A and B are shown apart, each in its own frame.
Chain A
Amino acid sequence: MNEPLLTLVIGKGGVGKTTVARGLAELASLGRRALMIGYEGPRAVGDEAIHFDVEMADGDAALRSVAAEILGSQRVAKALLSHFAIRRLAAIVPGLREVALLVLALQYTDDGRHVVIDMPATGHGLAWLDTVRLLHALEPTGRARRLIDRLDAKLADRSFTKLVVVTLGERLVMAETLELCRALPRRPDLVVINGVHRPPALPIDGLAGIATTPILAGAVASLRTWATPTETTPQLGTAMCELPRLMHRPTPAEVIRALSPQVFS
């Protein structure tokens, strides 16, 4: 039973995290019951045929649940978090809900389910990681300590948790992804480059003779733009795979096909 039970899909907003998470959840469902947690909830899968459960990420509920575990009482946790001052204070502490969500997801894996979390895209895609670090720096004791230590151990354990970073091939996005990978507590297990465009190599300059009318000249110029491939991405020292740019949202099956050479290796 060395198969991972938790997959974290990390990356900035709009890079296709949800698409990749769907594929990974479907892949996980081949082996065991799988659950995908994300801020899009069931909307993330639409009307596609899937074989995993989907749950809407609810940071507030997760926070209440974790607080109840730490305080040893649901009623105390509820009373505390609904207090007017504490509630407002908790609203401005960033990353708190995300960490609570992770703790909650760990509990879900206890019954043998594989949980895929479509992590929220906070600025760096990383605020939650910093929050884990912050919680450590505070040197908590008691139940809070045990909870954080368990989270740490599970995130560091490659055979339990898979860290999957999703990115795009554009130069600026890649540069940010390099920073993100450096800031992670350990190397990601997989980097997925989404929307990669690899057109056939067409020597467009040879078409100069054809471009005799403005319409044809425009068509050749458009073709030149289309024939500009996604840049070759730098080696990140970790398993990488590309999801091709498609004219529709990739289905879970298409994602699995693109990822499988890496995921199964």
Chain B
Amino acid sequence: MNSLVKPELLSHGTIECSDLAATRRFLTEFLGIDVVRPLPEAQYLWKGGPWSVVCVCVPDSEAKEQGPQNRFKLSVPRAADVDAAHAAALAQQSNYGIRKIEPVEESGGVRSFKLQDLNKHWWEITNLTQSYYDAIFAKAH
């Protein structure tokens, strides 16, 4: 297809935070995401690929609350890992400032739950992996 843009990579998404240190603690200690801080006002997150999520520090009054329809999905190996993650979220909710924890759901063999973090962003923990997407894209070819 002769598109207007010739992209090399779908490179990044973005989130906001109002406390870089507390956010990093949540991301690394709780979610298990890798983090590096190349700029005073931003840290970059990643797990398992060349793409990143840019986390930009903004004043608390400017941090916007996101809805669960705008979220990032983190893949864990097994359905049991989703349940363990959910239990950990409940146990550590106050420790990491987790605002909301949704119940675990299962649909078509995919088990998952969503949580809203200290910065009002939503994360989904799921046993959906890239192979799930591989199968869907393969059907289209």
Are the chains A and B members of one assembly? no
